[in-house]
Every structure is written in structure tokens, then in C-alpha cells.
């Protein structure tokens, strides 16, 4: 029987929409209509980018339904609306703004736009430690590697992605170590070698 199902989505990564997709994505007579923004790395974005199969609840589901995307109905404020909103705080101005929502490549640019307006801001990274009282970063974070879509359209192993991210942190640490004394560098190298040899054994 024809019907319209309206469901909260969480960009298709959470909520009851996943059950509706499991039971309807494979049906060519169905239409899946997206009315909100689908962030990078989400199931919703994978579907809009043309994945032919996705994994839901441990099963591979063929994507045979017709997909449509209404781009003008998102309830999220865009850049101009956010700038207009924050410009309304004049007395007093915000002491510091943390940009914690939005695509990871865009968030730092938005934070810089706020800085250019005279509002201290930055986009925290994963695992960053910030001292609110001192208004300073205690430990720098990092941007995890993007999840690589597997051939089937399913997500890569999270543990492997964390390992790749740590390798990036290690590379940055090594670059920052240039110019340190030879004794410290030799100690770092020896400890890293021991760790690698232990895991290779």
C-alpha cells in the first residue's frame, strides 16, 4: 500500500531511519527523500554519493530505491546566519568561541572568520585538552583520518583508522623533534624500535 514514512535520521547513522532503510532501500518502487544536510562520512552522504550497497545491522543491502535530495529544507543555520547571530552579542562580546559543529575542513576557516571579526575562536581537534581558566590549549589534538569506504560501501575498521591517525601524530612529533639533543633523539628511536619489535614478534 502506498505510504509516506517521515523519520528522524541522524544523517542515517542513528535512529529508526536505519530500520526503514533496511526494509525499503532494496525496493525499486520506493523513493528515499533527504531533506537535511548529510555530513561527510555518514551513511546518508554515502547514499547520496551513489553507493550501490550499504551495510545495515550486519547485512548488506542493495540500493535500488530512487534517491532524492531537497537541499533547501535543512534546519541548520548557514555561515551567514551564524555570523549574523554572533554579531548580535555586543555587550559583552563572547570571550572565546569553540567551533565544534560542521565539516572538519570548514570549521577552522569559520573560526578564522570569527578571529578576523575580533572574536577569539578556534576549532578544537580530536583529543585536544583546553584550559578554560587560562584560555589556552594544553595538549594539541589531531584530525582522525577519514573513513575509507570499502568496496561494498561499508565502513572501514575503526581500530585500523585509529592506528593510521596515531601514525600521523607520530610523524608530526618526529618533525617537531628536529634539532633536539642527540641523547633524547636516540632514546626516542630506541623506545619506538622496541615497541615495533614487540608488536612484530
- How many angstroms separate the CA atoms of 182 and 141, rounded? 27
Q: Of 131, 136, 138, 158, which is closest to residue 146 (Cα–Cα)?
A: 158
Rg (CA), the chain: 23
Q: Cell 568496496 appears where?
A: 151
pTM of the full structure: 0.50
14's CB contacts (< 8 A; 6+ apart) are: none
Q: According to the model, what pLDDT value does residue 74 have?
A: 67
Nearby residues of 51 by Cβ (< 8 Å), 6 or more positions away: 63, 149, 153
Please compute the mean of the pLDDT values over residues 49-73 and round it to a whole number: 89
* Residue 165 burial (C-beta neighbours within 10 Å; 0-12, 13-18, 19+): middle
Q: Express each pLDDT in 34-58 by its tens digit.
A: 987 888 888 999 999 999 999 998 8
Do residues 42 and 103 touch, judged by C-beta distance below 8 A? no
- Domain residue spans of the chain: 10-69, 79-123, 158-200
37 neighbors 74 (Cβ within 8 angstroms) = yes
User: What is the 8-class DSSP label of residue 10?
Assistant: G
Confidence of residue 150 (pLDDT cuts 50, 70, 90): very low
Least confident of 26-35, 71-80, 85-94, 121-130: 71-80
Amino acid at each position: 500500500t502506498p505510504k509516506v514514512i517521515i523519520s528522524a535520521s541522524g544523517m542515517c547513522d542513528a535512529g529508526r531511519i536505519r530500520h526503514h532503510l533496511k526494509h525499503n532501500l532494496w525496493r525499486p518502487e520506493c523513493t528515499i527523500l533527504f531533506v537535511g544536510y548529510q555530513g561527510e562520512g555518514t551513511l546518508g552522504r554515502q547514499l547520496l554519493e551513489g553507493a550501490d550497497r550499504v551495510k545495515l545491522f550486519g547485512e548488506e543491502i542493495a540500493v535500488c530505491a530512487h534517491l532524492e535530495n531537497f537541499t533547501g529544507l535543512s534546519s541548520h543555520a548557514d555561515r551567514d546566519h551564524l555570523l549574523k547571530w554572533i554579531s548580535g552579542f555586543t555587550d559583552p562580546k563572547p570571550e572565546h568561541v569553540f567551533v565544534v559543529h560542521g565539516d572538519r575542513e570548514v570549521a577552522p576557516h569559520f573560526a578564522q572568520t570569527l578571529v578576523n571579526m575580533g572574536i577569539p575562536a578556534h576549532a578544537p581537534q580530536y583529543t585536544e585538552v583546553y584550559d578554560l581558566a587560562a584560555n589556552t590549549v594544553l595538549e594539541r589534538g589531531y584530525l582522525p583520518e577519514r573513513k575509507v569506504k570499502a568496496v561494498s560501501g561499508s565502513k572501514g575498521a575503526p581500530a585500523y583508522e585509529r592506528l593510521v591517525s596515531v601514525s600521523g601524530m607520530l610523524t608530526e612529533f618526529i618533525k617537531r623533534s628536529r634539532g633536539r639533543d642527540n641523547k633524547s633523539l636516540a632514546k626516542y628511536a630506541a623506545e619506538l624500535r622496541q615497541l615495533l619489535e614487540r608488536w612484530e614478534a
